[in-house]
Amino acid sequence: METLARKLIAKASGQSSVAVGDVVVCKVDLAMIHDSGGPRRVKPMLERLGRNVWDRHRVVVVTDHYVPADTNETRAIQALTRQWVVDEGIDNFYDEQGICHVVLPERGHLVPGMFCVGGDSHSPTGGAFGAYMFGIGATEMAGVLATGEIWLRVPETILIQWTNHLGRFVTAKDMMLAMCGEIGMGGGRYQAIQYAGSAIQDLPMQERMTLSNMAAELGAQAGLIAPDDVTAAYVRAVGGTLAEDWEDYRIEAVDSVRDHLTFDAATLSPQIAAPHSPANADDAGVFRHTAFNVAYIGACTGAKYVDLAAAASVLKGRHVANGITLKVAPASLKDQNRAEADGTMSILEEAGARFLANSCGICAGYGDDRLAEDEVCLSSTARNFKGRMGAPGSKVYLASPYTVAASAVAGEMIDPREMMEG
């Protein structure tokens, strides 16, 4: 039986089937670029080639990294980005509407069966929709924009199965950190990971996105989840167009994959990853009493609507402890509007949260709120490499929004279940 990865690559390369190790040239259905790695890098290369983008309807441009632009340098980058979009006639331009990996699906750009590339390392997020999507560098992006094609060596698939069901206050983020802890940062060896099993099927789309997004942390090229009725309902709700054959991609590939890993969702505890690697993950209880001063709910990984709602369910009627600053940067304007409409934002606000722009912000080490020397942050983001979120001496622990919120209230790191069930 064919894997989902091979099926998607075969379609994109115009062949009836492909084998692991084949090098093929694929047609790109969609290319996403953002302000940081996008126009300012690819424009000179396209000019050298004397080319415009191959299909202006298949390019999506998002400004999210240098938002808000607050220096002359970043203002110039945004001005260049906006002018390039005009010059190239790009009609899918999302200017300061949120983080690229969240904006793409919520605007209906990702549907099962697609083959996509993104100029950002967390581009595997698209895999949550049954699309083959991966991140590429600027030179390669220039090549894609000039030709609409990209080469690929067909990867092996690693099947990661999650059996049973998650307990309360345990999330996709905890699953992800547990996987990083178990198989490490290079565990994916640039293969395609496919997540499967009952605990995956349970998850709403925004939670699935967290798993696909952080396939990058496992070293995988793609992080796929077979599309199902949950996927279809999401795509319809955001106004996307499902292909007639979308159900052909409901491939769980359980039998045909040699590399298997199995995790039990029922026994999973909330996780925390210590500095400076997501692979330093362990049960949150192990970090009991660890002090910190900044609680951050942010990034494509950790500040989608579901994440804001999770944090609010803990913070309702509670307040952040003295000595801790809670900063929340909703991942997109749409998600923020939804959270405003149903009262989630006001719960966060009453608990003491301060809101930042719908952008990468301090996850990318950018802006006034970035961490100062010696600050310790408990964060719902994806990466805690040394100095990533600010000063070289700052430290970042990673956790789910539940754990960040509960710890912010407790004034020290705790397992959220202690507060909610204890």
Query: Where do contacts with ligand SF4 occur on this chain (CB under 6 A)?
Result: 99, 101, 120, 122, 299-300, 360, 363-364, 381-382
Q: How far is the CB of 301 from ligand SF4 (least distance, A)?
A: 6
Residue 360 binds: one of other proteins, ligand SF4, none (C-beta under 5 to 8 A by kind): ligand SF4
Cis amide prior to 68 (ω within 30 degrees): yes
CB closer to ligand SF4, 26 vs 300? 300
Q: How far is the CB of 366 from other proteins (least distance, A)?
A: 15
Q: Does 333 bind other proteins (CB under 8 A)?
A: no
For the CB of residue 331, give the shortest distance to ligand SF4 in the complex, in Å: 7
Interactions with other proteins, residue window 20-39 (CB under 8 A): 23, 25
Show the beta-strand stretches assigned E in 238-343: 259-264, 271-273, 281-283, 294-297, 325-328
Structure tokens at 403: 């754990």
Residues 6+ apart with CB under 8 A from 175: 162, 166, 199, 211, 263, 265, 268
Residue 36 or 78: the one with the smaller Cβ distance to other proteins is 36
If one counts every other C-beta atom within 10 angstroms of the C-beta of residue 327, the result is 19
Residue with tokens 């956790």: 399
- Judged by CB, which is closer to ligand SF4: 99, or 205? 99
Q: Which is nearer to other proteins, 260 or 386 (CB)?
A: 386
Shortest spacing between CB 389 and other proteins, in angstroms: 15
- Residue 399 burial (CB count, 10 A): 30
Query: Which of ligand SF4, other proteins, none is residue 190 near (CB under 5 to 8 Å by kind)?
Result: other proteins
Q: Is 45 in the site for other proteins (CB under 8 A)?
A: yes
CA–CA dist 351, 409 (Å, integer): 9
User: Binding string to other proteins for residues 110 to 129, with x set by CB under 8 A, is what?
Assistant: -----------x--------
Q: How far is the CB of 156 from other proteins (least distance, A)?
A: 12
Alpha helices in 153-282 (DSSP H): 172-183, 198-201, 205-213, 229-237
Using DSSP bridges, classify how beta strands 395-399 and 325-328 pair: parallel, antiparallel or unpaired: unpaired
Query: Which C-beta is closer to other proteins: that of 105 or that of 118?
Result: 118
**Nearer to ligand SF4 among residue 143 and residue 330 (C-beta):** 330
The binding track of 165-204 with respect to other proteins, each residue x by CB under 8 A or -, is: --------------------xx--xx--------------
d(Cα 346, Cα 406) in Å, to the nearest integer? 17
Give the pair of three-digit tokens for residue 370: 């970035």
Closest CB to other proteins among residues 168, 258: 258
CA distance 320 to 412: 11
- Give the per-residue contact string, 209-238, with other proteins (x = CB under 8 A; - = no): ----------x-x-----------------
Counting residues that bind other proteins (by CB under 8 A) gives 25
Is-contact 342 322, C-beta < 8 A? no
Residue 218 binding target from ligand SF4, other proteins, none, CB below 5 to 8 Å by type? none
Which helix (DSSP H) or strand (DSSP E) does residue 169 occupy?
none
Among other proteins, ligand SF4, none, partner that 130 touches (CB below 5 to 8 angstroms by kind): none
Nearest to 166 by CA among 252, 260, 264: 264
Q: Residue 99 binds which one of other proteins, ligand SF4, none, with CB within 5 to 8 A depending on kind?
A: ligand SF4
Task: Between 211 and 226, name the residue whose CB sits nearer to ligand SF4.
Answer: 211
Q: Does 323 bind other proteins (CB under 8 A)?
A: no
What is the smallest separation between the CB atom of 225 and other proteins, expressed in angstroms?
A: 20
d(CA 18, CA 342): 47
**Nearer Cβ to other proteins, position 223 or 352?**
223
Query: What single-letter DSSP state applies at residue 323?
Result: T
Tokens of 386: 């040394």
Structure tokens, 237: 């709700």
Burial class (CB in 10 A: 0-12, 13-18, 19+), 422: exposed
**What is the spatial order of strands in the sheet that 192-196 belongs to?**
222-225, 192-196, 157-163, 259-264
Minimum separation from the CB atom of position 218 to other proteins (A)? 12
* Cβ neighbours around 69 below 10 Å, total: 20
Tell me if 346 contacts other proteins by CB under 8 A: no
Name the minimum Å distance from CB 338 to ligand SF4. 19
Alpha-carbon distance 96 to 85, whole Å? Answer: 14
Binding residues for other proteins (CB under 8 A) = 23, 25, 45, 48-51, 121, 135-140, 142-143, 146-147, 151, 185-186, 189-190, 219, 221
